[in-house]
Amino acid sequence: MATCPHADRLVPLLHDSELDSPLRREMVSHLATCITCTRVLSLLEHGQELLCQAIDEQVGALDFSDFWQGVTSRIQQPQSSWSVRLRLWYERWRPAWSFNVPAWAALATILLLTIAPFHSKSLFRISPFLAENPQPSPEIPPPVRVASNEATIDNQAQIESLSAADTVAMWNDPENNFTVIWVGDDASGELP
């Protein structure tokens, strides 16, 4: 069988339209005189035609009757559980959260320092009241600790400090469980 040096290398490229114009024109003119290359090209074309036929036959054999029904059923499937969605949401925003540890610590510290003054209720134990008293004005004598009430019933008021510009008296009513602080006018000085 006659052979041609172009048959194995250039004819397949010509068949695939991979040759540049000058070389393609040269190969086309060569095909007119070379039986070997012509046969190779015709075999390639025949093989491609058979391949296309085989593909068309297999595509035609596919059953698409249930295709849209399948799409519909997938759409109507119940949504993922909240934990899965939460996880997806976390993963989605994870890059935005990926600060380093010092940044998070600084944020938490700032938050604590900002809120702490408003929340003496649970963060700080109440120290002796006198330490937080506002500065007494010159008209009021300095606060005096009242000791007489410390051993009274727990439901009654406990006086930590008391100061007044006028006569002041204090008593507890054990029966009714309340405390009275009497701030009388100097003019009268009367007690109930």
Which residues bind to another protein, rule: CB under 8 A? Answer: 97-101, 104-105, 107-108, 111-112, 114-115, 117-126, 129-130, 132-134, 136-137, 139-140, 143, 154-166, 168, 173, 175-176, 178-185, 187-188, 192
Q: Which is nearer to another protein, 89 or 124 (CB)?
A: 124
Q: Which helix (H) or strand (E) holds 172?
A: strand 168-173
Q: Which is nearer to another protein, 38 or 179 (CB)?
A: 179
Q: Which is nearer to another protein, 47 or 128 (CB)?
A: 128
Q: Which is nearer to another protein, 63 or 175 (CB)?
A: 175
Q: Which is nearer to another protein, 60 or 117 (CB)?
A: 117
Q: Which is nearer to another protein, 54 or 108 (CB)?
A: 108
Give the number of C-alpha atoms closer than 13 A to the C-alpha of residue 170, restricted to the C-beta side: 19
Minimum CB separation of residue 108 from another protein in Å reads 4
Taking the CB of residue 135, how many other CB atoms lie within 10 A of it? 5
| CA gap 184, 126 in Å, rounded | 31
Minimum CB separation of residue 80 from another protein in Å reads 22
Q: Virtual CA dihedral for 38, 41, 47, 48, nearest 10 degrees?
A: -140
Both structure tokens of 175: 């029966």
Minimum CB separation of residue 155 from another protein in Å reads 5
Q: What is the CA radius of gyration of the chain?
A: 49
Give me the helix-helix angle, 35-61 and 21-31, nearest 10°.
110
Contacts of 10 (CB under 8 A, 6+ apart): 19, 23, 27, 37
Minimum CB separation of residue 130 from another protein in Å reads 6
Contact 6, 24 (CB under 8 A): no
Minimum CB separation of residue 85 from another protein in Å reads 18
| CA gap 103, 66 in Å, rounded | 54
Minimum CB separation of residue 107 from another protein in Å reads 6
